[in-house]
Amino acid sequence: MSFDYINALQKKPTSRTPIWVMRQAGRYLPEYRATRKQAGDFMSLCKNKELACEVTMQPIDRFDLDAAILFSDILTIPDAMGLGLYFSKGEGPKFSNPIKTLKDIENLPIDVNDDLSYVFDAVSTIKTALNNRVPLIGFSGSPWTLATYMIEGGSSKTFANTKKMLFNEPKALHLLLDKLADSVIVYLNQQILSGADSVMVFDTWGGVLSKQNYLDFSLNYMAKIVKGVKAQHPNTPITLFSKNGGKHLTHIADTGCDGIGIDWTVELNVVQAEVGDKVAIQGNLDPAVMYATPEIIEQEVKKVLSQFKGNTGHIFNLGHGITPDVDPENMQVLVDCVHQFSKR
Ligand code: CP3
């Protein structure tokens, strides 16, 4: 089996630039909204392997995408650790038992794979449904990003409690991050055993840290994850994505990961000059381009493609997730443009 997506990550020849899109299965698709309604709520959708498989396949059936991504969420691990995840309308994810003290951290279980069997069941169900059409990406959140949700009790603009712990009780935060890294390692390894062909770590909030704190509190633990996954699965590509991580790319590339995800605030040619041949690069169209006309989308796709030098090592993606109010027709335009203008 030879897939452009895997080949690009491994710097092997590709027939064209592969593309997948973060949040490709989601609310911009009417068929997603219908299945979500049938499931009742978001977590019930994640926990039902047939429905999770159905929504994973929806964008694959509709567009000529080069990879599927497991339909799940990064907050499955803290939920399995007992924090009580729920989604409140308009406010996003919430935890009923957020982390407050060192004692809370000490009491957290590490290997929660038994409670996450629904994720591994979804992976193997999707793998069978894909029937090798395209590879399957598994994922988790980064320890730092998971810790922010666990300590804040949900989304945050300031990360006040997490940063308070970072400065006042760094040892407690390091213990939490280290436990999370160990949980993520066994979680990703089990996703791979269940059928994931590559894995990605989403570090949505690494970019809110100063350089040294990013290295110590975020990248350090992602590097541990890369090591722990590579020890079990040396040939499975790993991508690290720190949103707003443009200033840290050489350090990210030094972790031994195979790919780095970049957002639209850095230019591909600049990134390529910095990281050289060490890693593949995933990105990085501004997600807001998806609101523009087909002509503008085409023009912006050509710009991104022309910034990358070489015939492999680029995986086209948006710089962050596709937003719920995008017209699905524009996704078609995006995928077709990337393939058409990158034919070798
Ligand atoms: O990319 C994909 O298609 C795979 C599925 C996926 C989801 N969430 C589905 C989802 C992935 C990879 C995630 C990751 C995730 N979840 C992140 C990292 C994202 C990144 O790009 O940096 C974060 C921060 C979360 C936590 C979370 N889950 C948030 C903030 C939300 C949005 C809440 C809202 O009301 O908008 C979710 C819910 C969620 N996860 C949705 C989807 C499709 C929307 C749920 C719905 O209402 O149907």
Domain ranges of the chain: 4-342
Q: What is the pLDDT of residues 169-216, one digit of tens each?
A: 999 999 999 999 999 999 999 999 999 999 999 999 999 999 999 999
- Pocket probe for ligand 1: among 51, 53, 69, 73, the residue whose CB has the most ligand atoms within 8 Å is 73
d(CA 63, CA 67): 11
Q: How far is Cα 12 from Cα 31, in angstroms, rounded to an integer?
A: 35
User: 23 catalytic, yes or no?
Assistant: yes
pTM: 0.97
Does residue 133 have an active-site annotation? no
DSSP for 212-230 reads HHIIIIIIHHHHHHHHHHH
Q: Which fold has domain 4-342?
A: TIM Barrel (3.20.20)
For residue 28 and ligand 1, the question of a CB distance below 6 A is answered with no
> Given ligand 1 and candidates 42, 47, 162, 188, which is best to mutate, with the most ligand atoms within 8 Å of its CB?
42
Q: Which of 28, 32, 149, 214 is catalytic?
A: 149
Per residue in 253-271, pLDDT tens? 999 999 999 999 999 999 9
Q: Is 17 helix (H, G, I), strand (E, B) or coil?
A: coil
CA dist list (Å): 9 to 18, 189, 240: 10, 18, 12
Does 25 sit in the ligand 1 pocket, CB within 6 Å? Answer: yes
Residue of 25, 24, 155, 23 lying closest to 92 (CA atoms)? 155
> 79: which strand partners?
none
Q: How far apart are the first and last CA of the chain?
A: 20
Average pLDDT, the chain: 97
Using CB atoms within 10 A of its CB, is residue 10 exposed (0-12), middle (13-18) or buried (19+)?
middle
What separation in Å is there between the alpha carbon of 93 and the centre of ligand 1? 9
Tokens 């195979």: give the residue.
258
Mark whether 27 is an active-site residue. Answer: yes
Torsion of CA 291, 292, 296, 299, to 10 degrees: -10
CB contact at 8 A, 336 and 329: no
